[in-house]
Every structure is written in structure tokens, then in C-alpha cells.
């Protein structure tokens, strides 16, 4: 299906009758960060925690039809040929983490990386939902997260209305 884009800021006057398009609607945005320099060396998934901070956020959807758009950004530094994998958990249960995914992989003496993963969840709930980021490191080797207090972040958006482009 071909897409048509309208520049409504130029060349359009008056009212568009019976418009048959919508850009969607966001109900709420929740944001949290972890900015405590911390080292993790684990071959299995563990909470991304530094000091008393854990990379997690809680949202309460307003409708069972709502979707939750999750985005997290990780700042990390590691030695050559090392990396990490992330996993999104909802209420302490694994939700999303691609198989064999490496968010980054160093190829020099030291490698620093910022990576972002997004996921659209359909929880069918109006109960409080906690989304937490877990990490595991390649071969259980050490990875430094939030190096020099660079923040790792998580964003949760309640999506009330959306448009799916099926091509």
C-alpha cells in the first residue's frame, strides 16, 4: 500500500470534511533512569541495578485495550569482544528479548555504546504494571553500565489509539 503524506501547514485552508485518518493518542508517559556507575558480570539475566537504583518504571493503563510502548536506552562500556543482552520484564516475568541479540560488541581495547530497544506490549489490564530491564553479559564478562554516571533510561507510554500500516 502506498503512503501519502500531507503537509497541513502549507497549502491547506478551511476544514477537511470527514477526514479518514488519525495519528493515534498517547494517554500517559512514565520515565525513569538509573545513573549509578555499576559493573555487572553475569551469564544469566539480572536486574540492571546500581546502588539503590533499578532500571524500572510502573504504569497503570486506563483501559484493557491500551497498549504500552516500552523504550529503553542503555549506556555501557566493556573490554574488547564483549557485549551484553537486554530483556524487558513485566511484573517480574520475561516479556521481550530477542534470541542471540547483542546490544553491542566491542572490537577494540575498550568499547562504549549506547543502545535502544523498543517493544509494543498488549497487557489487557488496568492493574499496575512494572516494567524492569534485565541484562546478561557475554560470557559472564564484566560490563560497566552508566559509566561516569551516564544515565540508562526507560520510557513507558500508554497508547490509547493507534494506526497500523499494513503494506
**DSSP annotation of 151:** P
Contacts 24+ apart (CB under 8 A), 99-106: 102/138, 103/74, 103/76, 104/76, 104/78, 105/81, 105/138, 106/78, 106/79, 106/80, 106/81, 106/82
Q: Are 59 and 30 in contact (CB under 8 A)?
A: yes
Is 97's pLDDT higher than 90? Answer: no
The whole-number average pLDDT for the span 59-73 is: 96
The model carries a pTM of 0.80
Least confident of 3-17, 49-63, 124-138: 3-17
> Which of 7-21, 102-116, 133-147 has the lowest average pLDDT?
7-21
Query: Residue 22: which pLDDT band, with cuts at 50, 70 and 90?
Result: low
Listed range (21-30, 37-46, 48-57) with the worst mean pLDDT: 21-30
Percent of the chain topping pLDDT 70: 74
pLDDT exceeds 60 at position 10 = no
Residue 57's H or E segment, with its range, is strand 56-59
Q: What is the mean pLDDT of residues 46-55?
A: 93
**Angle at the Cα of 158 from the Cα atoms of 156 and 91, rounded to 5 degrees:** 55
Task: Give Cα separations from 57 to 93, 133, 146 (angstroms).
Answer: 14, 9, 17
Whether domain 33-161 has CATH 2.60.120:
yes
Domain ranges of the chain: 33-161
Q: Rounded to whole angstroms, how far apart are CA atoms 24 and 86?
A: 28
Can you give the pLDDT at residue 102?
Answer: 63
Cα(127)–Cα(13) distance, integer angstroms: 44
Q: How confident is the model at residue 107 (pLDDT cuts 50, 70, 90)?
A: low
Mean of the pLDDT values across residues 107-124? 82
Q: Is 122 helix (H, G, I), strand (E, B) or coil?
A: coil
The pLDDT value recorded for residue 112 is 73
- Residue 79 has what pLDDT? 76
pLDDT of residue 3 exceeding 50: no
Residue with cell 561516569: 148
Amino acid at each position: 500500500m502506498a503512503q501519502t503524506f500531507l503537509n497541513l501547514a502549507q497549502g491547506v485552508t478551511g476544514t477537511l470534511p470527514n477526514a479518514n485518518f488519525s495519528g493515534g493518542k498517547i494517554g500517559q508517559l512514565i520515565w525513569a533512569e538509573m545513573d549509578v556507575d555499576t559493573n555487572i558480570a553475569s551469564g544469566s539475566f539480572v536486574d540492571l541495578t546500581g546502588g539503590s537504583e533499578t532500571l524500572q518504571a510502573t504504569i497503570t493503563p486506563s483501559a484493557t485495550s491500551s497498549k504500552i510502548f516500552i523504550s529503553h536506552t542503555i549506556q555501557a562500556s566493556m573490554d574488547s569482544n564483549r557485549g551484553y543482552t537486554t530483556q524487558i520484564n513485566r511484573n517480574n516475568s520475561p516479556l521481550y528479548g530477542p534470541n542471540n541479540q547483542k546490544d553491542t560488541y566491542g572490537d577494540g581495547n575498550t568499547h562504549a555504546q549506547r543502545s535502544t530497544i523498543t517493544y509494543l506490549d498488549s497487557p489487557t489490564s488496568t492493574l499496575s504494571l512494572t516494567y524492569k530491564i534485565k541484562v546478561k553479559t557475554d560470557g559472564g564478562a564484566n560490563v560497566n553500565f552508566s559509566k561516569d554516571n551516564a544515565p540508562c533510561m526507560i520510557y513507558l507510554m500508554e497508547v490509547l489509539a493507534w494506526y497500523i500500516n499494513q503494506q
